[in-house]
Amino acid sequence: MVHYNGKKVPSVVIKRLPRYYRYLGELLKQDIKRISSNVLSTKMNVTASQIRQDFNYFGGFGQQGYGYNVEFLYREIGEILGLHEGYKTIIVGAGHLGHALANHSTFEKRGFRLAGIFDIDETIIGKEINGVKIMHIDTLEEFIAQNGIDIAILATPRAVVQDMANRLVACGIKGLWNFSYVELKTDQPVAIENVHLSDSLMTLSYKIKQGDEE
Amino acid sequence: MVHYNGKKVPSVVIKRLPRYYRYLGELLKQDIKRISSNVLSTKMNVTASQIRQDFNYFGGFGQQGYGYNVEFLYREIGEILGLHEGYKTIIVGAGHLGHALANHSTFEKRGFRLAGIFDIDETIIGKEINGVKIMHIDTLEEFIAQNGIDIAILATPRAVVQDMANRLVACGIKGLWNFSYVELKTDQPVAIENVHLSDSLMTLSYKIKQGDEE
C-alpha cells in the first residue's frame, strides 16, 4: 500500500527515510558535503547494499563510488517525504498529550505548520499553547474549510477518537496522525499513521532482557 | 547490536515483535486459537516467508503447515520481549509529556509497573498522577536503590536530559527510554531506546504526498 511514482515500496524502506533524513540533516550542520554508502551504512546500522537498494526505489540519488552529495540527498528525501509541502496541521484534544505535541519544536523544523488546537473544555478555549489558539471543537469543520488543513493530530480520549476521525474525514482531511490505541475505520480514503508508543517500550524491554546494551 | 541467545537478530525483526505481540493479543481477545502464517502475513503486511524467517531467529514457534498456536506464540513473544519480568519504571519529568505517559494505560497492560515520577518543581512534589507520587529529583538515587528500578523514562527538557541520563546510569539503571531529541552518551553499558515522534509524522507526510491512502 505504500507507493512512489506508482511503484510499490516496502514499508520498511519508507520507515527508514525519516531516519536518513534526520542523519543527513546532522551531517549538513557539521558542514559535511559528501558521504559514502559505507559510512552512511555504519551510522544507520543498515548494510551499504541495503542503502543502495533503498535509494534505488527513488531513482538512486547519484553514484555510489563517489559517494552521495549530502545536501542533494537531504533535499531529495525531504521532497519525497513531502516536507516541502508546508502541510498545515491541527491538534484535536488539548490535554497533556496535545500540550506536549503542540510544544514539540521538531515538527515545525520538519516543515509542518500547526494552525490550530481544538478541545471541548470551555475553560481553556481561547488560551494559547506555543502561540497557537485553542478553539472549540464545534468550529472544527469551519476552520478546516477556511484554512485548508492537511493533517489532524488525534490526541483525544480513546472513546471519542473514531467520531473525531469521521468528522475530519468528512471535511476532506488528507492525513490522520493517531495517538490512540484504536484502529480507525474510515469510509473515505485518507492516509493514517498510528503511533504505538508501547512498541518502543517493548523494544527497550527486549534489549534489557536480552542484555543488548549500548 | 541486537541479540537473542547470543545470535545477532536484525533490528527490523526486533521491531516487528511488538507488532506481532499486539496483534496476537487481539486474536486472543477474539478467542482465536490458531493462525496460519498466511493469515498473519496479510494482517501484518509482511510476507509469510518473512514471518517464518523472523520466528526462526527465536526457534520457530511450531509447525507452519498446521498454523501457529496463538496463545503459545503470544506468551513466547512476550517472554522474549521481557514483558513477564515486571520491569519497574520511573518517569523523570512531570511536565505535559510526563503526565501523558503516566496516564498511558497500555504500559501497565504490557507488564510495566510505574513506581514513581520525579520533577524539580516544588509546587507539584507530593501530588499524584494516575495514583503515582511525584517526588523531588533530589531523592532519585535513593529511590532507585531502595526500589530496584529497571527503566527510566526521560521526559525532561532537552537541556537537562544528558545530566539525568548520567545520574541514572550511575545508579545502575538498565534501560533509558528517551523522548528528547538528544543522542545520549553513556560511559557504562545501558539499553537505550529513542522515540523520534517526528519520524512517524514524516511517514504520514510521505503517504499524503505520494497519495497512499487507506
Neighbour count for residue A126 (Cβ, 10 Å) = 10
Say which range, A50-64, A110-124, B168-182, has the weakest mean pLDDT: A50-64
- The letter for the amino acid at B22 is R
Mean pLDDT rounded to a whole number for chain B: 92
Residue (of B176, B21, B178, B32) closest to B106 by Cα position: B21
Kindly state the percentage of chain A with pLDDT values over 90. Answer: 73
Q: Using CA atoms in the order A10, B19, B67, B2, what is the torsion angle rounded to 10 degrees?
A: 80
Is residue B3 predicted with pLDDT exceeding 90? no
C-alpha grid cell, residue B109? 497492560
Q: CA-to-CA distance for B110 and B72, rounded, in angstroms?
A: 16
Q: Are strands A7-8 and A3-4 parallel, antiparallel or unpaired?
A: antiparallel
Is residue B214 predicted with pLDDT exceeding 70? no
- Give the residues across from A35 on adjacent strands: A68
pLDDT of residue B65: 64
Residues of A in contact with B209 (CB under 8 A): 80-82, 85
Residue with cell 515522534: B197
A21-26 average pLDDT score:
94
Q: What is the DSSP letter of B107?
A: H
Residues of A in contact with B17 (CB under 8 A): 202-203, 206
Say which residues have a Cβ less than 8 Å from residue B181's Cβ, sequence separation at least 6.
A106, B158, B196
* Band of pLDDT at residue B213, cut at 50, 70 and 90: low
pLDDT of residue B155: 97
- Give the residues across from B112 on adjacent strands: none
> CB–CB of A109/A21 below 8 Å?
no
pLDDT of residue A43: 83
Say which residues have a Cβ less than 8 Å from residue B158's Cβ, sequence separation at least 6.
B180, B181, B182
Chain A closest-CA separation from residue B175 CA (Å): 6
- pLDDT tens digits for range B133-174: 999 999 999 999 999 999 999 999 999 999 999 999 999 999
φ, ψ (nearest 5 deg) of residue A36: -85, 160
Residue with cell 497500555: B106
Nearest to B18 among A80, A199, A212 (CB): A199
Nearest CA in chain A to B106: A198
SS3 state at B41? helix
B32-61 average pLDDT score:
88
Nearest CA in chain A to B14: A203
Which ranges of B66-157 would DSSP assign to H, the alpha helix? 70-80, 96-102, 105-109, 140-147
C-alpha grid cell, residue B115? 513506581
Is residue A26 predicted with pLDDT exceeding 80? yes
- Give the residues across from B191 on adjacent strands: B175
- Which of B:151-170 have CB within 8 Å of A? 151
C-alpha grid cell, residue B141? 538515587
Would you say A17 is a known binding-site residue? no
Is residue B41 predicted with pLDDT exceeding 80? yes
* Band of pLDDT at residue B114, cut at 50, 70 and 90: very high
| Interface contact A197-B201, CB threshold 8 A | no
* Band of pLDDT at residue B64, cut at 50, 70 and 90: low
How are strands ordered across the β-sheet holding A88-92?
A128-129, A132-136, A113-119, A88-92, A151-154, A175-178, A191-194
- pLDDT tens digits for range A157-182: 999 999 999 999 999 999 999 999 88
Q: CA-to-CA distance for A94 and A102, rounded, in angstroms?
A: 9
Residue with cell 498522577: B129
Q: CA-to-CA distance for A127 and A135, rounded, in angstroms?
A: 8
Residue (of A37, A44, A99, A89) closest to A63 by Cα position: A37
Nearest to B190 among A104, A192, A214 (CB): A214
Say which range, B8-12, B51-55, B74-78, B127-131, has the weakest mean pLDDT: B8-12
Q: Is the dihedral of CA B163, B164, B166, B171 positive or negative?
A: positive
- pLDDT tens digits for range B7-25: 889 888 998 999 999 999 9
* Band of pLDDT at residue A211, cut at 50, 70 and 90: confident
Q: CA-to-CA distance for B43 and A191, rounded, in angstroms?
A: 18
C-alpha grid cell, residue A46? 543498515
C-alpha grid cell, residue B4? 537473542
SS3 state at B203? helix
Say which range, A182-186, B5-9, B130-134, B185-189, has the weakest mean pLDDT: B5-9
Kindly state the percentage of chain A with pLDDT values over 70. Answer: 97
Is residue A76 predicted with pLDDT exceeding 70? yes
| Interface contact B196-A12, CB threshold 8 A | no
